[in-house]
Amino acid sequence: MSYRIVVDSCGEFTEEMKKDSHFVHAALHLYVDGEEFVDDEDFDQLDFLAKVKASPNCPKSSCPSPEVYREAYDCGAEHVYAVTLSAELSGSYNSAVLGMNMLLEEKPEIKGHVFNSCSASIGETRIAQKIQECEEIGMSFEEVVETVEKFALEMKTYFVLETLDHLRKNGRLSAVKAFVATALNIKPIMSATDQGIIIQLSQARGIQKALRQMVETMAENVKNAEEKVVGIAHCNHPERAEFVKKEIQKLLKVKDVVIVNTSGVSTLYAAQGGIIMVV
């Protein structure tokens, strides 16, 4: 069967995915002091980071419209899938569903499904890769949906941020707490619930201690590690991603480790040096 996988631009593509016509992005738009950035292949991460750092205001984002999704879906494929960032964090999921309904009303012979990742960034990447894996081994559409929904539910997301400034600006953290954490070099180790709601697991003083603690927490909770592919997204800090990879390999024998640089939306929240990990 022919298939297409549409991922909102919070989900990064590996180099292999960028070359594969089965995958396509639906771009979000970002705004800093009135300037618009399109989160596509031309996104300038360094320019965006500099402008966000210089601005006292909270950067904003807008999700793809249902029409944008509808157009991305319509490629002649028999099976169409979408993967979006957590519905708790964005309207992207709802837009994707509306776009899918528009397509299916016009072309009822197509089978389509929208996956709420309950995650973001590299979490979306891994779900998209799982969809392709299932399609390529010949699963039926219904089997793909059931398998991938189970995979997404079992996937865990962890992250550590170098700076809390972006969270302070968008109101997710008080100015006092952000200042104290920065002054004391405290780095929270964060995760997400099964519903995609961000929570704090613990904290450590210093970025390397926090990253080690994040990996240790993951290692304590992961099951069947040898079957797992760990995904790591870094915000303009490949050396830090490699450090996390080595820490994982010290504790676990995993199937593979996939590393990507953050997209525009992930950059907005992760900020310079932030690390996101899923397994």
Residue 186 confidence (pLDDT): 79
Pairing of strands 275-278, 229-234: antiparallel
Quick: pLDDT tens for 21-37. Answer: 999 999 999 999 999 99
Sheet of strand 23-26: strand arrangement: 23-26, 3-8, 79-84, 111-116
Quick: pLDDT tens for 133-175. Answer: 999 999 999 999 999 999 999 999 999 988 766 555 555 444 4
From the CB of residue 13, how many other CB atoms can be counted at a distance below 10 Å?
21
The Cα 167–Cα 186 span in angstroms is 14
Residue 177 confidence (pLDDT): 45
Half-sphere exposure of 79 (CA within 13 A, CB side): 19
Question: What does pTM read for this prediction?
Answer: 0.93
Q: What dihedral do alpha carbons 156, 178, 38, 74 form, nearest 10°?
A: 30
Asked if 79 and 141 count as a contact pair (C-beta separation under 8 A), the reply is yes
